[in-house]
Amino acid sequence: MRRAERLMAIAEHLRARRTGVTAEALADRFGVTLRTMYRDLATLRAASLPIGAERGRGGGYALDRSYTVPSVNFTAREAAVLVSAAAWLAQMRVVPFAATLDAAAEKVRAALGASAQRELLGHLRELEFVGVPAVAVLPAVRKAVEDAWFEQRVLAMTYRAADGVVSQRRVRIRKVVMDRAETRLVCDDLDKGATRLFLMHRIERATAVRAGA
């Protein structure tokens, strides 16, 4: 079993269980060393799979029960469209969630067999992206906006307005508007008690924080 296939099998095995399982039991089940299994579990966690570990009877490694996305089989054509669309969105720079798109696209690639992988790469070589906007957003800002958006947290940011004035703002994102040239955030300004529009490329620093922080 290739590593990509084993990683998917481990994730599916954890999802199907009601109780935790030890790393030793997983290593024995998938025919690898304990060290390799620890490395596989670390890789799955790095890919944002919510794997927890508990001590004691019935403990071990387990997948968060809220993780309910089932396995999906893609044809090479479907995978090519998804991967290329993700690449285009990431290259457009205005999309706040580039890192998540890259991780998702990599999972789609890894799910394909060897022949489908070759077919996918052939499709991708025939695609070209042009007209990438010049406006770029700092990676740390992208990450903070993504966390604030998906986790419904407050975005604390340093913002430079069009006139050059820099201010500290605390906002809650209501809507993300992705235009051809820039990404705009429609927010509730918590300090001013009003709805405001902010341009992502003018955010110099940002952090997603809890409401009471």
Q: What is the pLDDT of residues 52-96, one digit of tens each?
A: 887 766 568 887 766 655 566 677 778 878 888 888 888 777 778
Domain tally, the chain = 3
**CA separation for the pair 201, 182 (Å, rounded):** 7
The CA distances from residue 7 to 37, 47, 81, 117, in Å, are 10, 11, 23, 17
The verdict on 54 and 18 lying in the same domain is: yes
Whether residue 69 lies inside any domain: the answer is: no
Whether residue 175 lies inside any domain: the answer is: yes
Whether residue 117 lies inside any domain: the answer is: yes
Give the residue among 136, 48, 33, 120 at the shortest CA–CA distance from 84.
Answer: 120
Strand 203-209 to 51-54 pairing: unpaired
The verdict on 84 and 52 lying in the same domain is: no
- Residues ≥6 apart with Cβ < 8 Å to 168: 156, 157, 158, 159
The amino acid at residue 153 is: R
Which of 15-29, 65-79, 86-100, 102-116 bottoms out in mean pLDDT, i.e. has the lowest?
65-79
Q: What angle do CA 157, 132, 122 make, to 5 degrees?
A: 120
Whether residue 47 lies inside any domain: the answer is: yes
pLDDT of residue 188: 96
Average pLDDT over residues 120-137: 75
pLDDT of residue 77: 76
- b/e code 21-34 from CB counts within 10 Å (16+ = b): bebeebbeebebee
pTM exceeding the 0.75 threshold for the entire prediction: no
pLDDT class of 166 with cuts at 50, 70, 90:
very high
pLDDT in tens, 130-151: 777 777 888 899 989 988 988 8
The parent domain of residue 171 ranges over: 139-209
Judge whether 211 and 153 are in contact, CB under 8 Å. yes
pLDDT of residue 108: 80
The verdict on 150 and 105 lying in the same domain is: no
Long-range residue pairs from 33-38, CB within 8 A, at least 24 positions apart, any chain? none
Say if residue 203's pLDDT is above 80: yes
Where residue 59 sits, what CATH number does that domain have?
1.10.10.10
Of 38, 63, 88, the residue that ends a domain is: 63
Both tokens of residue 181? 């040239």
Q: What DSSP string describes 170-181?
A: EEEEEEEEE-SS
Of 63, 89, 114, the residue that ends a domain is: 63
pLDDT of residue 187: 96
The verdict on 170 and 199 lying in the same domain is: yes
Judge whether 26 and 34 are in contact, CB under 8 Å. no
The verdict on 147 and 198 lying in the same domain is: yes
Highest mean pLDDT among 6-15, 123-132, 134-143, 167-176: 167-176
